[in-house]
């Protein structure tokens, strides 16, 4: 059964721990413990990196919980009104999410709602805003329970907060497809392990991938073939395009490993290839994974969108789907989003399904379709969040119907103002409290 709606009450035990702390030390420790447990499970499947990186990522990604626990304890001691406390704490959480996004450390609670096709409410509030609603519902419920103030008014407020997004989203997601034009996108999902593409025999890898490309081009009548991140294009191999030079006139968008001028560092790029023309444009990954990828190795970004037929589609690579500001930049002048990912270095389902969740949410936020191709999981979403997904770790080629276009949403127009409004609520509440003393 879909588990997405459970997130609306999943934080209740967490806030019971925060609000029942006896002092600031206990509150901070409970926040740190929550962050370490969550991200310990999140990153335990990480491989191909040193233990030092692993030990740094867990506390780094635990920062939101530490901030949340200390502020929750502080504000709850300053006011006895559950509604006001809930609004201020939820606003603070929205503000923290925004700051973490600015520093490329996303923490979007709303991602857990991807299971529900009713998640259209994010077109109004965005991932961060939806996270704030979830935090509000949890804090309000915990404060009411612990204070013994469960009344009809309390119950009505909580039910409205929880059900409003689903009710609105159900109406929003019932919209018809926004565009009559359609592209057939063939995604190649190889399901390779790291040893298949990290080794020295990269020419063998390309031969296998070229067979996939030929099969997709000759058997699917696709308009564009989409390959995952880190696959297919290796500048060190000469004449690697010869293998596909005799294909029909089909566009190919492939992830590939590129090199800095001194060849001491590698970085991920996306290549737009036309079989009889070669590489016509290149997109270099901009949103980098903290502590793992280095910005100095990546050249200046020139290509932001790829022209497929009469449509402009914007590429994203892996982690970029989680960076709110990066997605917004790419979405501004495009009619669809393309995410190229490679989750083979993650042993669990955590990362591929997080990418899936983020792209569904981005579709709704910006009112445009999105397609994701991964090594183990691929999907397509329309502008209202209705999506189709491949079988996890299935090996093969899947064709998706993609309808380029966009709906102007309140979030795409005004979403950036929400964190600042949240900041006004937080600092206004603190200032008002101090003025009373």
Is the model's pLDDT at 113 over the cut of 60?
A: no
Over residues 297-326, mean pLDDT: 83
Is the model's pLDDT at 385 over the cut of 70?
A: yes
Give per-residue pLDDT as tens, 235-271.
Answer: 555 455 666 667 777 899 988 777 655 555 667 888 8
**DSSP assignment letter at 173:** T
Is the model's pLDDT at 84 over the cut of 70?
A: yes
- Nearest residue to 106 via CA among 315, 288, 270: 288
What local confidence, expressed as pLDDT, does residue 256 receive? 79
Residue 153 burial (10 A CB sphere; 0-12, 13-18, 19+): exposed
The phi and psi torsions of 169 (rounded to 5 degrees) equal -60, -35
Is the model's pLDDT at 126 over the cut of 90?
A: no
Find out whether 313 and 335 touch, Cβ atoms under 8 Å.
Answer: yes
Percent of the chain's residues with pLDDT above 70:
75
- Nearest residue to 110 via CA among 2, 8, 3, 36: 8
Q: Which of 2-6, 85-89, 117-121, 323-327 has the lowest mean pLDDT?
A: 117-121
- Nearest residue to 388 via CA among 412, 404, 369: 369
Is the model's pLDDT at 345 over the cut of 50?
A: yes
pLDDT-derived band at 175 (thresholds 50, 70, 90) equals confident
Q: How many CA atoms lie within 13 A of 137 on its CB side?
A: 24
Sheet holding 370-373, edge to edge: 306-308, 311-317, 337-340, 370-373, 379-381, 387-389
DSSP for 43-101 reads: HTTB-SS-HHHHHHHHHHHTHHHHHHHHHHHHHHHH---HHHHHHHHHHHHHHHHHHHH
Give the span between the Cα atoms of 385 and 360, in whole angstroms.
5
Contacts of residues 211-214 at CB distance under 8 Å and 24 or more positions apart, as own/partner, are 212/188, 212/397, 213/188, 213/244, 213/247, 213/252, 214/244, 214/247
Average pLDDT, the chain: 80
The SS3 assignment for 167 reads helix
Residue 410: count other Cβ atoms within 10 Å of its Cβ. Answer: 13
Is the model's pLDDT at 206 over the cut of 50?
A: yes
What local confidence, expressed as pLDDT, does residue 92 receive? 93
Is the model's pLDDT at 1 over the cut of 60?
A: no
Find out whether 360 and 381 touch, Cβ atoms under 8 Å.
Answer: yes
- Nearest residue to 347 via CA among 28, 14, 49: 49
- Nearest residue to 283 via CA among 260, 251, 315: 315
Over residues 416-429, mean pLDDT: 88
What local confidence, expressed as pLDDT, does residue 57 receive? 74
What local confidence, expressed as pLDDT, does residue 203 receive? 64
- Residue 39, token pair as written in the block: 């991200």
pLDDT-derived band at 119 (thresholds 50, 70, 90) equals very low
pLDDT-derived band at 43 (thresholds 50, 70, 90) equals low
Give per-residue pLDDT as tens, 135-168.
Answer: 899 999 999 888 776 788 888 888 888 888 777 7
Q: Where are the domains of the chain?
A: 4-175+414-436, 183-406
Percent of the chain's residues with pLDDT above 90:
23
282 strand-pairing partners: 271
Is the model's pLDDT at 360 over the cut of 50?
A: yes
Q: Is domain 183-406 in CATH 3.60.110.10, yes or no?
A: yes
- Centroid of chain to Cα 209: 27
pLDDT-derived band at 128 (thresholds 50, 70, 90) equals low
What local confidence, expressed as pLDDT, does residue 16 receive? 92
Find out whether 332 and 353 touch, Cβ atoms under 8 Å.
Answer: no
187 strand-pairing partners: 226, 398
Over residues 186-201, mean pLDDT: 74
Find out whether 88 and 426 touch, Cβ atoms under 8 Å.
Answer: yes
Is the model's pLDDT at 426 over the cut of 70?
A: yes
What local confidence, expressed as pLDDT, does residue 309 receive? 85
What local confidence, expressed as pLDDT, does residue 378 receive? 95
Over residues 182-198, mean pLDDT: 82
Give the span between the Cα atoms of 242 and 273, in whole angstroms.
12
Give per-residue pLDDT as tens, 12-37.
Answer: 998 999 998 999 999 999 999 988 88
Give the span between the Cα atoms of 380 and 189, in whole angstroms.
13
């Amino acid at each position: 059964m879909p588990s997405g709606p459970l997130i609306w009450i999943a934080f209740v035990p967490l806030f019971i721990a925060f609000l029942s702390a006896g002092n600031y030390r206990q509150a901070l420790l409970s926040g740190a413990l929550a962050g370490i447990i969550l991200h310990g499970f999140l990153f335990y499947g990480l491989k191909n990196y040193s233990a030092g990186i692993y030990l740094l990522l867990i506390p780094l990604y635990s920062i939101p919980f530490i901030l949340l626990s200390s502020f929750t304890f502080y504000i709850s001691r300053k006011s006895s009104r559950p509604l006001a406390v809930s609004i201020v704490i939820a606003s603070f959480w929205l503000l923290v999410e925004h700051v973490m996004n600015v520093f490329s450390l996303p923490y979007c609670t709303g991602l857990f709602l991807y299971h529900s096709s009713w998640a259209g409410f994010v077109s109004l509030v965005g991932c961060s805003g939806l996270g704030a609603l979830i935090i509000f519902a949890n804090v309000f419920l915990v404060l009411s329970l612990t204070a013994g103030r469960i009344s009809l008014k309390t119950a009505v407020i909580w039910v409205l907060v929880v059900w409003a997004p689903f009710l609105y989203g159900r109406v929003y997601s019932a919209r018809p497809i926004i565009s009559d034009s359609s592209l057939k996108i063939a995604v190649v999902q190889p399901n390779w392990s790291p040893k298949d593409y990290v080794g020295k025999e990269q020419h063998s890898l390309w031969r296998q991938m070229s067979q996939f490309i030929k099969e997709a081009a000759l058997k699917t009548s696709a308009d564009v073939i989409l390959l995952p991140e880190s696959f297919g294009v290796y500048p060190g191999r000469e004449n690697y395009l010869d293998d596909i030079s005799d294909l029909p006139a089909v566009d190919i968008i492939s992830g590939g490993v590129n090199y800095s001028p001194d060849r001491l560092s590698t970085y991920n790029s996306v290549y737009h290839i036309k079989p009889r023309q070669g590489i016509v444009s290149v997109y270099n990954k901009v949103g980098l994974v903290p502590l793992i990828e280095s910005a100095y190795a990546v050249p200046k970004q020139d290509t932001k969108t790829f022209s497929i037929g009469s449509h402009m589609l914007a590429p994203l690579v892996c982690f970029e789907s989680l960076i709110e500001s990066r997605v917004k930049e790419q979405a501004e002048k495009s009619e669809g989003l393309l995410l190229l990912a490679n989750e083979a270095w993650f042993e669990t389902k955590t990362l591929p399904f997080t990418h899936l969740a983020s792209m569904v949410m981005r579709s709704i936020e910006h009112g445009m379709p999105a397609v994701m191709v991964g090594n183990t999981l691929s999907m397509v979403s329309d502008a209202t969040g209705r999506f189709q997904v491949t079988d996890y770790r299935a090996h093969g080629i899947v064709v998706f119907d993609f309808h380029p276009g966009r709906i102007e949403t309140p979030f795409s127009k005004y979403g950036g103002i929400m964190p600042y409004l949240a900041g006004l609520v937080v600092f206004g509440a603190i200032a008002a409290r101090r003025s009373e003393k």
